[in-house]
Amino acid sequence: MSKPKVLELFYDVVSPYSWLGFEVLLRYKNIWNVDIHLRPGNLGAIMTKTGNSPPALVPKRGAYMGRDLRRLAKFYQVPVREPSDVFHVMLKKGSFSAMRFVTAVQMSHPEFVESVSRELWMRIWSEDKDITEPESLLEAAEKAGIPEDLAKKSLSSITSPEVKNKLKENTEKALEYGVFGMPSIVAHINDKPELFFGSDRFELLAHLLGEKWLGPVPQKSHL
């Protein structure tokens, strides 16, 4: 078998589309010949530095997003539900501390980064719960299976220069690739990075990888 191709997924838990892309990509982890590298980043910084604007700021687009997410939740089989106050959740509260926490977990215990990211998405985009307070982050960590002492240690490190710099490094790397929003997948094909934005480019990604696209829930395709 040829050497696995590397796929980097740049994401932020404040983005519901990032959750969709995250789940679908991980479903293909053992189907495609790929190595998936999760890259937690800061979507707010990327939007600012690229001059992009959140969908919720465009009334028509914000209204469409709510309907779109309900359809996508069924199609992707990911329990996405719009929070009661999307504007407040995404633009006022944000996810800065949460993404620092994910980064801290990845730096010290990378085996938990997938599960803790998922639990944070569950809180904000399924259960309409807070992801900014320390207690909330620890609850997500507990559900993700992280031992209490390790979770508290990761939480205490989110203001450290090391964690801050790592999150900044991931974000700057995304910008170098041309990322302007999330989710963004960078596929390394023939030593060349190929950027795919959004959660709806998997069919094209599969084509360029020389793999089969079996839909967003590939396990069911095998039945």
pLDDT of 60 = 81
Domains of the chain plus CATH, in order, are 5-221 (3.40.30.10)
Share of the chain above pLDDT 70, in %: 97
> Which tens digits make up the pLDDT trace of 43-94?
999 999 999 887 767 778 778 888 999 999 999 999 999 898 887 777 778 8
pTM of the model as a whole: 0.94
Per-residue model confidence (pLDDT) at position 133 = 95
Compute the Cα dihedral for 126, 128, 130, 136 and give only its sign. negative
Contacts of 187 (CB under 8 A, 6+ apart): 5, 6, 7, 193, 194, 196, 205, 208, 209
Cα(first)–Cα(last) distance of the chain, in Å?
25
pLDDT at 2: 83
Q: What is the pLDDT of residues 172-208, one digit of tens each?
A: 999 999 999 999 999 999 889 999 999 999 999 999 9
pLDDT digits (tens, 9 = 90+) for 135-169: 999 999 999 999 999 999 999 999 999 999 999 99
Which pLDDT value is given to residue 223?
44
Nearest to 216 by CA among 2, 16, 21, 51: 21
Tokens of 88: 């407040």
Closest CA relative to residue 167, chosen from 108, 104, 109, 124? 104
